[in-house]
Every structure is written in C-alpha cells, then in structure tokens.
Structure 1
C-alpha cells in the first residue's frame, strides 16, 4: 500500500470517523515507513476536530500504539507527537512507560516518552520519571521541574526535587527547595480576578508575569 492508496481508503469512508480510523489503521500493514507516518498524520487531522466515541477512541489508541511500537525511529517519533490526546488509554501509557525504561531505545525517543508522560500529568505520582533520568533530560529539565513545582509532593516527587537540589543549577536548586518547603507554582489564569489580585499583592513571582509562588494551603481559589 502506498500513500495514495491509503488516502483513497480514508476518502471512501466518507464522513464516518470510525470508518476513517479503521482505514487509517490499515496503513500500518504497509512495509513503507512513509505510509505509516502518513497514517499518523491522518489521525491528527480528524481527531483534532471530532469528538470521539468510546469505540473511536479505542481505534485511535490502537493507531498510536502501533506507531509507538514501530520498528522505524521516525514513525515512533511521530507517534510520540500524536500520543498526548490518548493518555487516558492504559495501553498508550504502558507503551510510553516501556519506551522510557528501554535502555536500547534511542535517547531522544526515550526522553520524548518521559516528556509526554510527565508534562501531561498522566501519572500523578511522577513514577514515569526516575532521578537517574534527570542527567539525560538536558533541555527538558526546566519543564520537568516546573511541573514538579506545580503538583502535590509525594515520596517520588520529593526524591526528584531533592535531586535538583543536590545536582541542579543554582536556579533549579532554589526552585526545588521552595517546592520542598511548602510552596507551589501557580498560573494566574487558573484563578478568579479577586484571587489573582490577592496573589499578585501577597506572593512572589516565580518567573514571567503570570507564574507565582503560593503556599500550598492558600491556593484553593482556583476554578
């Protein structure tokens, strides 16, 4: 099957999202990696505009998992970019976990899986990220630290924050220490106008214009 043949199958399905998804899944029967990449791009096109039923969501998750399990790095890379909307599906999350833990996986792909899991908060206990991975995260470290500073601090998150304190830059160590000392970072956009005014008057800026440090027991006014 080539790209045009796959496009024809999808077109024949008409307006049926279920039919389009079934046709798109057939793209992974092709030996041509470009066809499989095209299938993932098709997935992004119509799932971004349509509300998926349970059956359609299941099919879409199958497509993502097929991409994440593909033998070709480029296909896995594109599948990573397509995976965020489907993190409610356990198979997608489990496959991302496998990729992040696989020492034989390409570092860029492995860290991409860590990124998707962490930044999307698919795992509230941050168990997809290990302290040992932090040295490999490079440009992703700041985003990960920001995420950790926004959420609850359980044992695993605490261990990660302590790693930033011990091995991070001065800025990272300060942020992690504040998070360990009962503060969290919030975005003003999550609060009503009266609460936003209160935060800007009584709290310290974390960075930018909309990110502030607040005590964890003083930010209950978010919507």
Structure 2
C-alpha cells in the first residue's frame, strides 16, 4: 500500500541520517541471505552516499540475485556523486539488459570529465560490442556531448570505416557515429562533417550531409530542409 511504502521510506531516511555513525552495522546487511534485508541495506547506504557506503555497495554489483542488482542501480541512478560511476560501469554489462540499460541511463545523465572518462572506458572495452544498439547509441551521443572536440576524431574514424561487404553492424556504427557528431558543438566537428559531406562515397556523403543539417538545427534551431 501507499501508506506502507511511505512508512518504509521514512524508516530508510531515518536510518540513513543515523546510520553514518554505525556504517559498519548497516554495511553488514549486504551479506545477509535475505534479499529484502540486502535491498534495505543498499537503500540506506546509497542515501548516506559517503566513500565507506560506496565501498560496501560495490560488493553487490555482481550479486547473484537479480532483484538485488536492480535495487543497487535504482538506488544509485539519481546520485550526483561521480564516485558512483565505477560501480555503474561494472553493471553496464549485467546479464539482465534491463539492469544494464538502467546503468547506462544513469551514467549518461552525469556531466563532466569523470563521466566522459567512464564512457570512454566503456566504448573502448571489449564488452561494448555486446551491448544493445540503443545503449551503444546513448553512450556514443553522451561521449560526443561531453567530449566535444576531444571526441570528434574517434567518431569520424568510425564514420569513415570502409564497409565493402555491407556488414549490418558496421552500417549501424557509422549511423550512430554520425548521429553522435550531430550533437557535438565544437568547431572541429563542423569542419570534419563538411569534409565528410564532400566524400566520393555516395552513402557516406549523404549521411554526413544529414548529420550536418541536424547539427546546425541542434545548435542554431535552423531547419535547412
């Protein structure tokens, strides 16, 4: 019931306010065999949010119980603390795509260099290709926005890759890279898209021209169609 949930939230908040003094007592809850006890400990620790609580929370990132891993990512997703990023990064490759996607959404909502570095690590990892296309796209777009000029060369490299055999994955990555470039505000991005839009390869030329139009609309609000 709503009343029961409200009471539960009040208890969690009370424990979070008072648990800092007894952090190790709260932390022990993550080792309990009962899922509900572990989940409550996660919620309290996430609200406390200091280094020691995050140390405890990192221990359940690969917990065998899916409901516990889901509770972890749900508890961390709204945290503005960049120190949650290493935990979320581990959860991105969760066997449950619902949990993995929640971790991706949480990471891309962060701003600043720690988020950019985390996303760069994920994109450069072997596991990146195993993610769903929607998650890959979200990460590339966030990489472009956060990295600005620093992100351009890598995205252009993907867009330029030859796809002689019309491999569907390579076709997707070109489209995703150009989509990411269309939200990059750096002057370097403008220059590189102009070059790509004059490519002798018809499909690349057309896609780059579309990305250039989208980018100008994104930045200036101008629809050039």
Instruction: Call closer, same or farther: CA 1:73–1:122 in 2, change over 3 Å.
Output: farther
In structure 1, distance between residues paired with 2:153 and 2:126:
11
Match of 1:77 among 86, 95, 101: 101
| More off after superposition, 1-10 vs 75-84 | 1-10
Query: What corresponds to 2:123 in structure 1?
Result: 97
Query: Where does the alignment leave 5 or more consecutive residues of structure 1 unmatched?
Result: 189-204, 213-223
More helix by share: 2
In structure 2, distance between residues paired with 1:92 and 1:107:
18
| More off after superposition, 31-40 vs 15-24 | 15-24
SS at match of 1:31: coil
Whether the 8 Å CA contact 1:165–1:172 is kept in 2: the answer is no
Match of 1:153 among 174, 188, 201: 188
SS at match of 1:30: coil
Query: What corresponds to 2:77 in structure 1?
Result: 44
Query: What corresponds to 1:206 in structure 2?
Result: 222
Query: What corresponds to 1:17 in structure 2?
Result: 49
TM-score computed with the length of structure 1 as normaliser:
0.56
Query: What corresponds to 1:144 in structure 2?
Result: 180
Whether the 8 Å CA contact 2:61–2:90 is kept in 1: the answer is yes
In structure 2, distance between residues paired with 1:162 and 1:100:
33
Query: What corresponds to 1:219 in structure 2?
Result: none
SS at match of 1:28: coil
Whether the 8 Å CA contact 1:119–1:147 is kept in 2: the answer is yes
Instruction: Call closer, same or farther: CA 1:32–1:127 in 2, change over 3 Å.
Output: farther
Does residue 117 (structure 1) correspond to residue 153 (structure 2)? The answer is no
Whether the 8 Å CA contact 1:36–1:75 is kept in 2: the answer is yes
Instruction: Call closer, same or farther: CA 1:158–1:102 in 2, change over 3 Å.
Output: farther
Deviations 1:85-127 (CA, angstroms, capped at 9, x unpaired)? 1662265133322258854544343333323312333663424
In structure 1, distance between residues paired with 2:218 and 2:70:
37
Instruction: Call closer, same or farther: CA 1:178–1:43 in 2, change over 3 Å.
Output: closer
Instruction: Call closer, same or farther: CA 1:152–1:69 in 2, change over 3 Å.
Output: same
TM-score computed with the length of structure 2 as normaliser:
0.56
In structure 2, distance between residues paired with 1:91 and 1:4:
34
Does residue 61 (structure 1) correspond to residue 69 (structure 2)? The answer is no
Whether the 8 Å CA contact 1:100–1:128 is kept in 2: the answer is no
SS at match of 1:153: helix
